[in-house]
Amino acid sequence: MFTRLRFPTLQTGLVLFWAVWLTIVTLTNLTDALKALGLLPDTFGWASYNHALVRDTVAAHGVPAVLAGILFAGVLLWELLAAALLWRAWNTMRRGAPGTAPAVTQAFAVNLALWSAFLVATELFINYATAATHKSTLIAQLATLLVVRGRPD
């Protein structure tokens, strides 16, 4: 059974992992946004609670809640785009394209930019509570990119 597993299977599986993971992140942030807008009850449990984190972080620097909501919506759209690009990259690789295919490069470029932007925001708003998570995600995606673009020996 395992004798049929090859390096491209590992590469494709890693892209699939990131597509699934970021889709879940996006959905929990979406439900959190819907709660913040009053479209879901406060008791709805499957939510990220990132909206309050963003709102409170930027409020400490005088940024109004409305602008915090706009920033959160921007992050949500960025995550949605990044997840969609990862699904496209996975489908491209599933059909036999290598990890160097343009769809794969585009997906990782958008994702790495997202986590880099989070780290810049961490410094800009002097809130280091999420820095370790953002940094480790960035590093994990960079490591994945090296594996996905690599060639088996």
Give domain status of residue 108, yes or no.
yes
Q: For residue range 59-106, what is the model confidence (pLDDT) as tens digits?
A: 999 999 999 999 999 999 999 999 999 999 999 999 999 999 999 999
The predicted model scores a pTM of 0.93
8 A C-beta contact, residue 82 and residue 138: no
Residue from 71, 73, 82, 77 nearest 111 by CA: 82
Task: Give the distance, in angstroms, between the CA of residue 86 and the centroid of all CA atoms in the same chain.
Answer: 10
User: What's the pLDDT score for residue 3?
Assistant: 80
Domain count, the chain: 1
Give domain status of residue 109, yes or no.
yes
Give domain status of residue 128, yes or no.
yes
Containing structural domain, residue 68? 6-149
Give domain status of residue 1, yes or no.
no
